[in-house]
Amino acid sequence: MLGLRWTLGIITAVAALGLFGLAVTGGRFRRSFGASDSGVMTVLPVLVGAVVVASLLWPERRPLLHAVAVLMVGIVMGAVFIARHASVAATVAIVYASAWLFLYYRLVLA
């Protein structure tokens, strides 16, 4: 289980930082055309990543685990919704959320 926690934590941190970098770069590009910068979309991936990593670092905090489990179920539902148009992204999201939910099952329910 420790290996799965580390794997999920590293993947989450790298993805959150990558999405943050992409949002910052996109914001600069948008501003070059005179558009406003979207602040929520810049910070949201980092916040979600921080909550998921926190749940992996402190698995004894049950409310945090339950909140992230609800988030993961939402991610699976969203991935199923976009699967027709972006099958690779949906597959990656479903595999990641399934791995996290398996960890959740082993930590909380088993």
Q: Where are the domains of the chain?
A: 2-109
Residue 29 DSSP SS3: helix
Contacts of 85 (CB under 8 A, 6+ apart): none
Type of residue found at 61 = R
Contacts of 19 (CB under 8 A, 6+ apart): 45, 46, 49
Once rounded to an integer, what is the mean pLDDT over residues 5-32?
78
Alpha carbon distance 101, 106 (integer Å): 9
Q: Is the pLDDT of residue 42 over 70?
A: no
Q: Given this model, what pLDDT does residue 75 score?
A: 92
Model pTM score: 0.79
pLDDT tens-digit readout, 50-96: 898 898 888 888 999 999 999 999 999 999 999 999 999 999 999 99
Q: How confident is the model at residue 35 (pLDDT cuts 50, 70, 90)?
A: low
Q: Given this model, what pLDDT does residue 32 score?
A: 65
